Amino acid sequence: MLRQVPVARLQGLETSDQGLSEAQVAERRSSFGRNTIVEETSSGWLEIFRSTIKDPMVWFLTATALLFVWLGDYTEAAILAAALVPIAGMDAYLHRRTQASTEGLSGRIASHARVLRGGSHADVPAEDLVPGDLVVVSAGSYFPADGLILMGDNLQADESTLTGEALPVRKQVINRIPSGERPAPVDGIHWGMAGTRLLTGEARVRIVQTGADTLYGEIARLSQATHAERTPLQEAIGHLVKILLMIALALCLLLAAIRYLQGAGVVDAILSAVTLAIAALPEEFPVVFSFFLGVGVYRLAKRQALVRRAVVVENIGRITCICTDKTGTLTEGKLALGDAVPAQGVNRAELLRLAAAASRAETGDPLDLLLIKATQASDRAVEAVFPFTEDRRREVVVQREALGVWRAAMKGAPETILQMANFSDEEREDWIRRTHELSASGKKLIGVASCLLPDWSGNEPQGGFDFAGLLAFTDPVRPGVAEAVKAAQAAGIRVIMITGDHEQTASAIAQEIGIGGEMPKVIDGAEMAQHLVSGASTAGIDVVARCIPSQKLDLVRALREEGELVAVTGDGVNDAPALRGADIGIAMGERGTRSAREVASIVLLDDNFSTIIRAIGEGRQLFRNLKLSFAYLLMLHAPLVATAALIPLLGYPLLYLPVHIVWLELIIHPTALLVFQQLPSSDGLETVRRDKRARFFKPHEWVSISVVGAVATGVIVWGYSFNLGDPIDVPHARSMAMAVLVTASAAITAALSGLTSRNAWIAVLVTMGSALLAIQLQPVSTLLHLSPLHLIDWLVAVGGGLLVSAGAAIVGRRPLRNISARHST
């Protein structure tokens, strides 16, 4: 990866022993500021309160709770006040998440640096560094800023937090600092980057970029600037509640005025308005929503998916695209020995022994450590070491074999080892062919050779090696990943792999796990950036290789603009911007950095990609359950509100008294909260339906809900008016209307739930039992201003309830099982 060097910052600082003077440091600090890579964020209860009161849902819950206090319904007021807790808690968490994310990003920043100034070395706070400073970075330390490497031997760095690549990256000394007037591109092998760690050697680095100008600083800035948005369902519920609230208040005022003008009296007018208000105020919707979010958090946790932001429960089931990094997510994120191809006359054990002989534990190189561990090599009498360098591309270790005899073991780049081995031209060409075949599969290859030295002069042998074979190393794919990818793609979910690896390696992994089929389309990150700038579609892109954090975020934004609902998985600091910019960020819990976990909406406790698919299936079931609960509320509230307003407006005596509304609410609330959230889930993953204009309820579902409400309203009005009789018998007529409504509630519950859970059966039986108890038991019916019904009345009431449930059964079928990509009210 090339990075631009602003050469003007380094003029006159070309040598590797020239530090800055104190005057130069002061001047440059004035020009470029301090090396503050991650800015601190404000915290405290005042900031949390300011963030919370911006949520309109909080204002609505507060206002309606106060209204119920004014009406004297303290139970409803208490429920609404309790619902404020999770809403305010989520807002407080969002604020805290930003702060925690910053703390996580800061965890990989060097706090101090050893710098050459004024002709002497000094330890200074890393924040005091300026462009042009010459710093010394020792093995195991983090680079304090971005700079060019001027000196160092056998340098390897861990850059996984920036690139996602698990393998160490070898670093080279830059031969000459660029000069001129314009910024010059320099390959990444010459850079030491803030937030990355030097594994081996000691490097002298000329600082080029500090603070927010570093690549790590850019990641931090993107992470903090990408704010979470309100989800479509939150907007939909808020909009629906506002409409229902305005309708309810308007009906209350209208009913009170008309009843008064009809001569019913002030008390009757107020009672009519209060009864209608209790029936019509839509407090159940935000309460049910909050409750379902809590249930979703629990159910997803049982699936090993820890939800850190509860509102994403509504989004997880509607995911249409998963952008996943490779290292640590699809693969295990650690080096493993793959193929061993011994030369003729050499067995696998001998090949590994020779490779281990050419390895040294003190380097800290994971490959060396793996080989030594694999062969359980003990301490050896090493006579000399000729270390790996980028120009030599090999490492040679000489050991005493016997008295007067030494053996040189060599490992390194296959082309170098093959060139130094004793081969005929035909044999060498055959091994070169094998090397290309293994390289094409994305494996990291080393060649191994050795030779006996009867008369060793102490110098590195330059030839006469016998080729021992090739070793191929891989980052193994996690178990179950291929099956999970197949299930996702079969359900219409697009899977895109994003990695910092080379295209060849990325393509091999994609083919192995099935992303993009047998011939996945692989595109370079820089090429993808140009692709997106030109306005081209992301269609057909399966893998993005050599991708930097800003490009990953750009891809996520492009996918969202195209209508995809995007989940991004990751485990490193480099994934943080995209995790926050996605609809749902999913971090790995075991391997993930703190930054990734704090930024993400969901953390996978088992780091298993398959868990994502199970979580999506669970989320789809939860979303469907929520829709069924809302459908139930609408189907019951529509006839309840309509008849509470219509019958008094027609001049009939009041149908509902406050006690009847309380009875109905005691049925409606538990049913909406407990029945539908418990509907069983399935491990199967249904196909996602992508609609250009998808809604929370589709038009045909709204029609079904409206028809159910209209039929129920008609049956109740007819039953009430028909049974008033002459002389007027209001308790009997009211009993008939209540029997129809309560039976309709039980029938709708059965139709929507399919009676697939114990709670559904309990709700239906309790609902019908309450009707029989309240209407048929004489003392109770008298207290409730009702009167017992005859058998024929009950048959009519049950028939009306069953008629209402027919429309509900239509809504409870397939239409609600197709989860749309996006929705609104």
Span 108-146, pLDDT tens digits: 677 889 999 988 899 999 999 999 999 999 998 999 999
Residue 353 CA, distance from chain mean position: 44
Whether 247 is in a domain gets the answer: no
Q: Do both 558 and 642 map to the same domain?
A: no
Whether 790 is in a domain gets the answer: yes
pLDDT for 489-545, tens place per residue? 888 899 999 887 778 778 888 998 999 888 899 998 888 988 888 888 888 899 998
Q: How far apart are the first and last CA of the chain?
A: 46
pLDDT at 515: 93
Q: Do both 323 and 413 map to the same domain?
A: no
* DSSP state, residue 20: B
**3-state DSSP helix/strand/coil percent for the chain, to nearest 5?**
50, 15, 30
Whether 306 is in a domain gets the answer: no
pLDDT at 275: 62
Total Cβ atoms within 10 A of residue 350: 16
Instruction: Give percent of the chain with pLDDT exceeding 70.
Output: 76
Q: Do both 707 and 810 map to the same domain?
A: yes
- The total of structural domains in the chain comes to 5
Are the CB atoms for 165 and 571 separated by under 8 Å? no
Pairing relationship of beta strands 321-325 and 494-498 according to DSSP bridges:
parallel
Total Cβ atoms within 10 A of residue 698: 18
Q: Do both 590 and 489 map to the same domain?
A: yes
Whether 674 is in a domain gets the answer: yes
pLDDT for 626-638, tens place per residue? 888 888 888 888 8
User: Ranked by mean pLDDT, which of 71-75, 653-657, 720-724 comes out on top?
Assistant: 720-724
**Helices 232-261 and 56-71, interaxial angle, to 10°?**
30
pLDDT at 816: 42
**Helices 232-261 and 266-280, interaxial angle, to 10°?**
170
State the CATH number of the domain containing residue 349: 3.40.1110.10
Give the Å distances, CA to CA, from 122 to 114, 128, 210. 6, 12, 19
Residue 57 CA, distance from chain mean position: 24
Whether 76 shows a pLDDT value over 60: the answer reads: no
CA dist., res. 263 & res. 256, Å (int)? 11
Q: Which of 225, 246, 270 is the last residue of a domain?
A: 225
Which residue would you say has higher pLDDT here, 726 or 667?
A: 667
Are the CB atoms for 552 and 506 separated by under 8 Å? no
Cβ-Cβ contacts under 8 Å for 262 (sequence gap 6 or more): 651
Give the Å distances, CA to CA, from 489 to 315, 422, 606, 816. 18, 50, 22, 21
pLDDT for 417-431, tens place per residue? 998 998 888 888 999
pLDDT at 819: 38
Examine residue 727 and say whether the peptide bond preceding it is cis (omega within 30 degrees of 0). yes
Residue written as tokens 């709204």? 702
Q: Do both 80 and 127 map to the same domain?
A: no
Are the CB atoms for 20 and 117 separated by under 8 Å? yes
Please report the beta strands in 414-546, taking only residues with DSSP state E, as ranges in sequence order. 444-453, 466-474, 494-498, 522-524, 543-545
* Residue 397, beta-bridge partner list: 385, 409
pLDDT at 308: 66
pLDDT for 322-346, tens place per residue? 998 887 778 877 788 888 999 988 9
CA dist., res. 196 & res. 141, Å (int)? 9
pLDDT for 253-290, tens place per residue? 777 787 777 666 666 666 667 666 666 666 677 767 77
CA dist., res. 434 & res. 399, Å (int)? 30
Q: Do both 517 and 563 map to the same domain?
A: yes
Lowest mean pLDDT among 218-222, 458-462, 695-699: 218-222
Q: Which of 428, 447, 474 is the last residue of a domain?
A: 474
Residue written as tokens 């028809």? 707
- CA gyration radius, the chain: 36
Q: Which pair of tokens denotes residue 702?
A: 């709204």
Q: Do both 574 and 694 map to the same domain?
A: no
Give the Å distances, CA to CA, from 275 to 188, 256, 454, 577, 730. 73, 11, 106, 51, 17
pLDDT at 73: 60
CA dist., res. 599 & res. 821, Å (int)? 23
Q: Which pair of tokens denotes residue 644?
A: 């509470």
Q: Do both 681 and 709 map to the same domain?
A: yes
Total Cβ atoms within 10 A of residue 409: 23
Whether 233 is in a domain gets the answer: no
Q: For the chain, what is the mean pLDDT?
A: 79
pLDDT at 191: 92
CA dist., res. 429 & res. 435, Å (int)? 10
pLDDT for 179-219, tens place per residue? 777 778 888 889 999 888 899 999 999 999 998 888 777 76
pLDDT at 379: 60
Q: Do both 678 and 799 map to the same domain?
A: yes
* Residue 122, beta-bridge partner list: 115
The H or E element containing residue 304 is none
CA dist., res. 749 & res. 737, Å (int)? 18
- Nearest 5 degrees, angle CA 253-CA 287-CA 711? 60
Q: Do both 91 and 117 map to the same domain?
A: no
Q: Where are the alpha helices (DSSP H) in 213-306?
A: 215-225, 232-261, 266-280, 284-302
Q: Do both 521 and 457 map to the same domain?
A: no
pLDDT at 686: 62
* Cβ-count burial 214-251 (b if 16+ within 10 Å, e if not): bbbbbbbbbbbebebeebbbbbbbbebbeebbeebbeb
List of long-range contacts for 72-79, beta carbons under 8 Å, 24+ apart: 73/278, 76/278, 76/281, 76/283, 76/665, 79/283, 79/287, 79/669
Q: Do both 353 and 411 map to the same domain?
A: yes
Whether 278 is in a domain gets the answer: no
pLDDT at 775: 92
Are the CB atoms for 665 and 272 separated by under 8 Å? no
pLDDT at 669: 78
**pTM higher than 0.75:** no
Whether 187 is in a domain gets the answer: yes
State the CATH number of the domain containing residue 762: 1.20.1110.10
pLDDT at 824: 35
Give the Å distances, CA to CA, from 13 to 28, 53, 132, 559, 734. 14, 54, 7, 45, 94
The H or E element containing residue 281 is none
Are the CB atoms for 276 and 251 separated by under 8 Å? yes
Whether 263 is in a domain gets the answer: no
CA dist., res. 325 & res. 575, Å (int)? 8
**Residue type (1 letter), 738:** M
Domain that holds residue 93: 45-106
State the CATH number of the domain containing residue 161: 2.70.150.10
| Residue 356 region by backbone torsions, left for phi larger than 0, else alpha for psi between -120 and 50, else beta | alpha
Q: Which of 182, 210, 225 is the last residue of a domain?
A: 225
CA dist., res. 337 & res. 351, Å (int)? 13
